[in-house]
A and B are shown apart, each in its own frame.
Chain A
Amino acid sequence: GAGVSQSPRYKVTKRGQDVALRCDPISGHVSLYWYRQALGQGPEFLTYFNYEAQQDKSGLPNDRFSAERPEGSISTLTIQRTEQRDSAMYRCASSLSDNEQFFGPGTRLTVL
């Protein structure tokens, strides 16, 4: 079956622009997670949803970052007024009710 998909796979933007990153989880997965991975580091938790409810957003670095999952399936991570320090790989994962998370290929964001 289809795994977690993310789009776009690569995004180059200019500083100050807004970007929206999309995650399509595995069908039927209840939970959806967003992580950010800087070069040479492990992924860092940003936020997660159960169905459409955002359960934990403690990892979002500041109020320029937001996420939604309005219908409990596809999720969008939005970064407003991007800065160069936002450049990273953004990874999405989904899971059933247990704790085994399945990861997508990621979106590589470059802010010029």
Chain B
Amino acid sequence: AQSVTQLGSHVSVSEGALVLLRCNYSSSVPPYLFWYVQYPNQGLQLLLKYTSAATLVKGINGFEAEFKKSETSFHLTKPSAHMSDAAEYFCALDTGRRALTFGSGTRLQVQP
């Protein structure tokens, strides 16, 4: 069975600081991996996706993630946090069944 683990339910950074949100996965087949962002009272918005074309994936709003098979990780990073990045972030996995398996989420707080 597949699973997604997000380390840290809450992460707080200062504006301008590096953002690092951790995601580890477990899958018996090569996975597709996604990061979604959720703003209050809104739906989940896709930030980026890994579909085996390239291990370093660039997404919207300056975010990127690197697929590391040896570490079974897909951590999300952004070099410089902005106040508007405050939201909840979800890592998700698809093993080809089309049903996404989500992590429990990480709430990012950005301090001025």
> Which residues of A are at the interface with B, using a C-beta cutoff of 8 A?
3-4, 31, 33, 35, 40-45, 48, 55-56, 58-59, 91, 93, 99-106
Q: Please indicate which of the listed interface residues A43, A56, A91 has the most CB atoms of chain B within 10 Å of its own CB.
A: A43
- The CA of A79 and the CA of B43, in the complex, are separated in Å by 22
* Contact A42–B99 (Cβ < 8 Å): no
Instruction: Give 15 CB contacts A-B under 8 Å.
Output: A33-B98, A35-B100, A40-B104, A42-B4, A42-B90, A42-B102, A42-B103, A42-B104, A45-B99, A58-B99, A99-B98, A101-B100, A102-B46, A103-B36, A106-B43
Q: How many A-B pairs with Cβ below 8 Å?
A: 58
Which residues of B sit under 8 angstroms from A56, Cβ to Cβ? 97-99
- The CA of A44 and the CA of B100, in the complex, are separated in Å by 8
The residue in chain B whose Cβ has the minimal distance to the Cβ of A104 is B43
Which residues of A sit under 8 angstroms from B82, Cβ to Cβ? none
The residue in chain B whose Cβ has the minimal distance to the Cβ of A5 is B43
* Contact A42–B105 (Cβ < 8 Å): yes
Out of A4, A40, A42, A100, name the residue touching B43 (CB < 8 Å). Answer: A4
Q: Does B65 contact A (CB under 8 A)?
A: no
* Contact B90–A100 (Cβ < 8 Å): no
Q: Which residues of chain B in 3-40 are interfacial with respect to chain A, using CB atoms and an 8 Å cutoff?
A: 4, 9, 32, 36
